[in-house]
Each structure stands twice: as C-alpha cells, then as structure tokens.
C-alpha cells in the first residue's frame, strides 16, 4: 500500500507541474495569438507600396516579404505552443505507464526512469520527470526483465542493471493499477487493455509494446523490414508506432510529409488516422494503391478496383469465363509477365511504337508517320524516354512554325471581326503591359497582335497535349504487346483485355502493367521526396505491383506488413510479394492478442500451419455455430445481436461474403435495427453500432462481436483464407450462422473448439 501512496503522491506532483506549464503556455499562446491578429490587421499599414520606379518595386516586394515572414514565424510559434498544450493535456490524464529503476555501471545509485507518451522536464528544464517512450533509455522497459540490461545511444552503449520494473494503469490522474513484473509487459496490463471494447479508430499501444514489436519499431538499419504477423498480432499497431519512432529519432531530417502509408481501403485509413496525432506527431499521407492508379489513369479509363475484381470472382456464374479470368489475373500479376513487357520494350527500341496524328481545326498538321519517322531517325542507343523528350522538343518547334504560318489564314481575319468585347479588352490591356499604349491606333499593328493572340489560344491545347506526351498512342502500344507474348494460353486472355481497352475499361490486373509500360516509354515518374513507405496487407500486392512501386520510390525505405493466411486476392494465392520480391529483415509475430483464447483456438484450426499461432491467455466463450432454417435465420441473428448489446459489445459486425449479400442482409435487418449501417467500398469511416460489411473490407479492423452471415457460402479452397480473415476480426464474441451443414473448413476444425446449436 505504501508503494501506491508514494506513486500516487508523485503523480499528484507531476500533475501540479503540468498545470504550471499549461498556465505558462496559455499565457504565451494568448500573447502570440494577439500578435498574429495585430500583424494581420496592420499588415498593409506596415508595408511600403510604391510601384513608380524599378527600385521602388524592389523595396515594396522586400517590405511585403518581411511582413509575411514575421506573420509566418508568429503563426509557427503559436502552432508549436498549441502542440505542447495538447501533449500536456494528454499527460495530465495519464502521465506515464511504466517505471524502471536502472543502475548504470560505474554510478553510485539507481535512476528512476518513468516512461510515457511524451517527455516532461522539471520546472528548471534540467531533469526528466517523464521520458518519451521513443527515447533510447526507454527501450530498456520493452526489452529487458530485471537484471543485466543495456541500451544504445548516439554516443555508445550504456550497460547496467534494472533493479525494478513497474507498470501503471493511470486514468484521470489516479492510479487504478500498479504491477511489479519480471516480464516485458505483464499479463495484468494486457488483460486490462485487451478486455476493453473495440473502438471505431485504432489506439496507440505504447503502454503494451512487446519485445518483438519493439525490435520492429526501433529498426533503423534495414532498407526493407518485413513483418509476417498472424491476425491480431499487433503488426499494424507496431508499424504506426514505428512511424512515430522514426519521426522522433530523425526529427531533424525526417518529417511526416516524407512518409506514406498504403492501406487496403479508405475505411482502414480512417481507422488508423488518429494514432500518430495521439502520439503528438503530424499524420503521414495515407492512401491506397487504387487511389494512385486512379490519379494516373482515371481520365482515360474506367478502372476496375480490387473489390470489384473480388466481387466477380466470388459471384461469377459462367465457369468458363471465370477460369479465363483467373489465369489472366495470375499471369498478369507475375514477374514473368513483367519480363515479357521488358522484352517487348527491347523490340520497341527499333520499331513498333505507335503515335497519333496532330490535328488542328479538323486538319492533320503533323501525321503519325512523320512523328514515327523522326523518332526512329534518332540514335537507337538513346533510351526510349530520352528520345521521347527529343521528339517532344521537335514537335513543339514544328507547332510554333505552323502557328506562325496560321496567323495569315482567312479564318483568323474572320475571328478578329467577331472578337468578343472582353477578349478585345484583354488584348488591349496586354498591349499596355508591353508599353505599346498607342499600338491600337495603328490598324496593322493591332491586326497583327490580335492574330497572334487568337492563333496562340487555339494552339495552346495542342502544345499542352504535346507536353503531356499525348502524341503517343499508348492504348495501341499496349494492345500490340499481346501479339509479342509467347504464351500458348494467352490468346483468350488477350481477347478479354483488348475488348476491355477498346471500350475504355481497364481491369485491375491490367492497370499496373499498363502504367509500367507507359512509364518505360514516357519516362519514370519517381518520387524522391518520400523517404519511408509503409505497406499494410502487403500480401495482397502482386509481385508485379510491388516491383512497380519500388521503381516509383527508388530511394525509400520500406516497412511491409502482412499475413500469408489472409491472402484473399487471387493473384496472391501462389506466392506472396513478401517473400518473392522483398529482401530484407523479416520478423515473425505469432502471438495473437486481438481475440480471446477460445476464438484463436478455433480460427487457427481453419488454416494450414495454424498450430504455430499462439493465443494470448484471455478467457471468453467458445465460438458458436448456429445452424437454422431460413425462416428463423434473421430472428436468431436479431436475438444474438440484442444479447451482445446487453453484454456491453459496442461494435457488432455482421460480415457477409460479398457486397451483394451485404445489401440483402442490410435490407433484412433494417426494419428491426434502425441504427444498422451498411459498409461498402465508398465508406470512409464508421461509428459504433451494428455494421453490415463485406468480408474483404473488414481486413485490418476489429470488432467486439462478429456474426458470420451464412458460413455455408464459403465452399471453395481459395475462399478458405477469406473465411479465416472474417472470423479473426472478433475480439470477444464470434457467432457463425448457417442454413446448412456445408462449410468444409468448419468441418476440418477441432470439434471441441466451438459450440453448435441446431434450430
């Protein structure tokens, strides 16, 4: 009891210091805020504006620049103060979660190291009252039990002994739990955290980081870090803490806009969006690979996304077309296909590129044959993108010549006669800017100027297209590729693709190869500002996609997170990007924390090598299989939803196999559940309550209770991992409904791992 009293006394003292610092910062923010307001109000009063002479213009520019810089500096100061206030508010609620007493070798006494989400100095700003969890010394808390320990600093290795390790649960400034432990993170603290209800947004896990997760978070030496983690192992959480650690460790050279997260869908982006801000860091850019594809190709094609591809595979009735599509997907996702495109590019060095006519007012002014002839007249040893640049420059010169000749054409005189008043006024002002105030008094000069203006406007779109390489017929070049691929099964696959492209449709499996070919011809669009990339659900990226991404970000470091057991897309069933392409430090996380022990014991029996998965020892009810007839199916579901709500479950997901099934279930439940929500691929965020969601959109998210709608729908072997993924979303309760005893994966599971009810 004395330990708790002493620790609570320290918490009270820390909160008093936080209050003092908060009051100090509030005073500063008011002062800086009023300065910002005053500068804005008096901005033009303090600026000297004089445009009479060149020297006066320079003086005016300098004056405006100085005022703008002063305003920017004050606003930046206010932003930093607001950030400090936000951090102090979080520390006041829960100042820290851990303590270690560390006796450094050669020192007379131990230091008490308290660890929280941010650092806090004493009133003299000399000593640490709380250490940031990312500080080098804090790694002792995550990596060692009491006894000999060491940690790395920028100045070398520090050795010593941990004489005490203590964990806290502090809420609203009060200690609710205190544990001395020999483990990294004691089961008591994990039980407390994991036993809580799920949230609509992921939370920080800094208080419960495990030793194996800490190794991932603090790895700064490897260019590629691969995390193969089972469902619920905390791989995504560890990755987000890793981003926060990197921003802290390299804070002088790395900023949030140098990091990007590729996530599986927009809903997941919303789910993880608060983690970095919760740790006091600005959020990194969050996107999906599909959003990148759309940004490049949506103006040309209607692009299929991976969810529509999945819908087709799960619902297609024409088995012959389905078989062709599956071959299409697997082949076009492979590195073998990328090699075929590279071979095709070798052919294009000397022949085969297709161009478009350049047309002006319905007349071809540079035909595609001339363009092709000029391109292939250039030295063949020059790479294709470099020759395209030279071709582009030649075309712009030719266009300028034709533009000049066009000014004398009769249509231009007609256009001058019918020139709009506003256009005429714009031309007059333009002449004035050129110091030709009297030019419009001379009819010939006026006519010449207006002719130039009219023709220039008409040619502007053509020049813009040339600058964007629109003179290349990329569609035809891509279609031509198929006649060069030496694959006996490819004829049917090529027909499918050609028909799509001719209708301006691009399948998901064609989008990346199309962009790759385009970039090899027009020039790569590498992004050198991104220093670190996180890819979640990396097993769902094809080898071709990942190789393409590596070319997009050639100087980036990578953190790839995935689970081979959740490879739900058809292109990832044979080999995973994680092991085929990515060469780097690989971490395996085999302990599952999300679900109760009973749920993990059931789900791990659904997949091969599931025996390697280690459940965390959090007790709960065994999963329940309810097999019932269709006439009582939804009433049974409604009864169980009501039971879960009464038990305190706040997020209840009814997971369906696909989107069309989700819509049907939503319509069935809606009359009795007025707050039920349907989640589809366009959903950007969700709130607590009852959700109906397709299986593939639930990836990466967790729920208090999961209801699997009609488990008998999952029959085929390639649906096994989809079924496993859906079941592993459950934290506390898993209920499987079925109209018949037809799920082969449940039949293979250990009968003792679940309960069964027949209605």
Residues linked to residue 462 through DSSP beta bridges, in sequence order:
none
Report the DSSP beta bridge partners of residue 157: 152
Query: Containing H/E element for 757?
Result: strand 755-758
Q: Does residue 718 contact residue 589 with C-beta atoms inside 8 Å?
A: no
Q: In angstroms, rounded to a whole number, what is the distance separating the alpha carbons of residues 18 and 21? A: 5
Query: Does the annotation list 29 as a binding residue?
Result: no
200 is known to lie in a ligand binding site: no
| CA R_g for the chain | 32
The rounded distance, in Å, linking the Cα atoms of 587 and 334 is: 25
d(Cα 702, Cα 710) in Å, to the nearest integer?
20
Is 280 annotated for ligand binding?
no
Nearest to 706 by CA among 734, 738, 666: 734
Length of the chain: 759
| Residue 233 among known ligand-binding residues | yes
Q: What's the CA gap between 53 and 652, in Å, rounded?
A: 72
Do strands 128-132 and 120-121 pair parallel, antiparallel, or not at all (unpaired)?
antiparallel
Which has the closest alpha carbon to 365: 390, 415, 401, 410?
401
Question: Between the CA of residue 221 and those of 163, 462, 560, what are the distances in Å?
Answer: 30, 49, 15
For helices 410-417 and 443-467, give the axis angle rounded to 10 degrees: 110
Q: What phi and psi, each to the nearest 5 degrees, are found at residue 392?
A: -60, -45
The 8-class DSSP code of residue 687 comes to: -
Of 696, 712, 722, 738, residue with least CA distance to 290: 696
Concatenated DSSP letters for 491-555?
HHHHHHHHHHHHTTEE-HHHHHHHHHHHHHHH------S--EEEETTGGGS-HHHHHHHHHHSTT
Q: What is the strand order of the sheet 651-656 is part of? A: 677-678, 689-694, 651-656, 703-708, 730-738, 624-627, 755-758
**Nearest-CA neighbor of 190 among 615, 733, 599, 593?**
593
Q: Are 103 and 119 in contact (CB under 8 A)?
A: no
What's the maximum distance between 2 C-alpha atoms anywhere in the chain? 101
Give the other-Cβ count within 10 Å of 647's Cβ.
12
Helices (H), 233-383: 235-249, 266-272, 275-278, 289-297, 306-315, 319-332, 335-348, 368-377
Dist. CA 181–CA 157, nearest whole Å: 25
Q: Is 229 annotated as a binding residue?
A: yes
The 3-class SS string of 609-628 reads CHHHCEECCCCCCCCEEEEC
User: Annotation-wise, does 235 bind a ligand?
Assistant: yes
Distance CA 60, CA 541 (A): 55
Task: Please tell me the distance from the alpha carbon of residue 380 to that of residue 537, in angstroms, as a whole number.
Answer: 42
If one counts every other C-beta atom within 10 angstroms of the C-beta of residue 350, the result is: 9
98 is in an annotated binding site: no
| Residue 677, beta-bridge partner list | 691
For 118, counting Cβ atoms within 10 Å of its Cβ (0-12 exposed, 13-18 middle, 19+ buried), the class is buried
How many Cβ atoms sit within 10 Å of the Cβ of residue 193? Answer: 16
∠10-90-532 over CA atoms, to 5°?
Answer: 120
Return the C-alpha torsion angle 582, 588, 589, 590, nearest 10.
Answer: 130
**Measured between alpha carbons, how far is 749 from 734 in angstroms, rounded to an integer?**
15
* DSSP classification of residue 287: E
Q: Is 334 annotated to bind ligand?
A: no
Binding residue numbers for ATP: 229-236
Binding residue numbers: 229-236
């Amino acid at each position: 009891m004395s330990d708790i009293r002493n620790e609570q006394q320290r918490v009270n003292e820390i909160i008093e210091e936080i209050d003092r610092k908060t009051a100090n910062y509030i005073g500063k923010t008011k002062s800086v805020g009023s300065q910002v307001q005053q500068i804005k109000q008096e901005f033009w009063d303090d600026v000297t504006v004089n445009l009479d002479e060149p020297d006066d213009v320079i003086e005016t520019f300098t004056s405006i620049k100085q005022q703008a810089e002063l305003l920017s500096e004050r606003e930046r100061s206010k932003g930093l103060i607001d950030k400090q206030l936000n951090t102090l508010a979080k520390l006041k609620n829960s100042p820290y979660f851990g303590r270690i007493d560390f006796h450094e070798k050669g020192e007379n006494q131990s230091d008490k190291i308290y660890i929280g989400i941010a650092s806090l100095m004493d009133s003299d700003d000399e000593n640490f009252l709380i250490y940031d969890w990312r500080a080098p010394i804090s790694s002792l808390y995550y990596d060692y039990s009491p006894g000999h320990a060491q940690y790395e600093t920028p100045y070398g290795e520090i050795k010593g002994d941990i004489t005490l390790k203590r964990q806290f649960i502090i809420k609203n400034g009060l200690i609710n739990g205190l544990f001395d432990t020999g483990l990294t993170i004691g089961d008591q603290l994990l039980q407390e955290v994991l036993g809580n209800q799920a949230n609509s947004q992921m939370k920080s896990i800094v208080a419960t980081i495990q030793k194996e997760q800490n190794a991932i978070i603090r790895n700064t030496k490897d260019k590629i870090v691969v995390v193969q983690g089972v469902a619920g192992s905390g791989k995504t959480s560890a990755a987000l803490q890793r981003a926060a650690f990197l921003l802290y460790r390299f804070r002088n050279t790395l900023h949030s806009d140098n990091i990007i997260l590729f996530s599986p869908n927009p809903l997941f982006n919303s789910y993880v969006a608060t983690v970095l801000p919760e740790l006091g860091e600005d959020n990194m850019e969050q996107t999906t690979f599909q959003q990148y594809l759309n940004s490049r190709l949506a103006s040309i094609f209607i692009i299929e996304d991976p969810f529509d591809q999945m819908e087709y595979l799960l619902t297609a009735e024409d088995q012959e077309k389905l078989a062709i599509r599956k071959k299409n997907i697997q082949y076009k996702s492979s590195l073998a296909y990328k090699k075929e495109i590279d071979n095709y590019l070798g052919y294009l060095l000397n022949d085969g590129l297709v161009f478009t006519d350049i047309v002006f007012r319905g007349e071809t002014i540079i035909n595609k044959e001339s363009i092709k002839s000029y391109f292939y007249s250039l030295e063949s040893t020059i790479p294709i993108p470099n020759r395209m640049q030279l071709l582009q420059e030649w075309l712009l010169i030719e266009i300028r010549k034709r533009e000049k000749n066009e000014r004398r054409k009769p249509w231009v005189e007609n256009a001058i006669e019918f020139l709009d008043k506003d256009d005429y006024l714009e031309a007059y002002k333009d002449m004035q800017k050129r110091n030709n105030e009297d030019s419009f008094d001379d009819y010939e000069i006026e006519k010449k100027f207006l002719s130039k203006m009219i023709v220039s406007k008409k040619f502007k779109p053509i020049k813009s297209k040339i600058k964007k390489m629109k003179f290349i017929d990329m569609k035809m070049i891509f279609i031509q590729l198929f006649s060069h691929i030496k694959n006996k099964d490819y004829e049917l696959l090529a027909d499918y693709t050609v028909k799509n492209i001719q209708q301006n449709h691009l399948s998901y499996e064609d989008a990346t190869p199309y962009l790759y070919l385009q970039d090899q011809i027009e020039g790569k669009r590498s992004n050198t500002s991104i220093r670190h990339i996180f890819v979640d659900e990396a097993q769902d990226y094809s080898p071709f996609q990942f190789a393409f991404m590596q070319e997009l970000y050639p100087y980036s470091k990578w953190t790839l997170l995935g689970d081979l057991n959740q490879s739900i897309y058809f292109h990832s069933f044979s080999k995973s990007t994680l092991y085929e392409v990515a060469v780097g430090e690989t971490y395996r996380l085999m302990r599952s924390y999300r679900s109760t022990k009973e749920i993990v014991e059931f789900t791990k029996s659904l997949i091969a090598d599931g025996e390697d998965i280690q459940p965390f020892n959090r007790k709960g009810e065994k999963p329940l299989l309810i097999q019932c007839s269709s006439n009582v199916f939804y009433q049974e579901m409604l009864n169980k939803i009501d039971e879960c709500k009464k038990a305190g479950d706040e997020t209840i997901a009814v997971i369906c196999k696909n989107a069309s099934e989700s819509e049907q279930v939503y319509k069935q439940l809606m009359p009795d559940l007025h707050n039920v929500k349907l989640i589809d691929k366009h959903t950007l965020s969700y709130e607590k309550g009852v959700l109906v969601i397709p299986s593939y959109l639930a990836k990466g998210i967790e729920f208090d209770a999961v209801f699997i709608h009609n488990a008998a729908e999952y029959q085929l072997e390639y649906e096994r991992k989809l079924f496993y993924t859906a079941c592993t979303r459950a934290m506390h309760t898993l209920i499987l409904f079925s109209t018949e005893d037809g799920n082969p994966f449940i039949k293979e599971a250990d009968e003792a791992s679940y309960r069964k009810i027949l209605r």
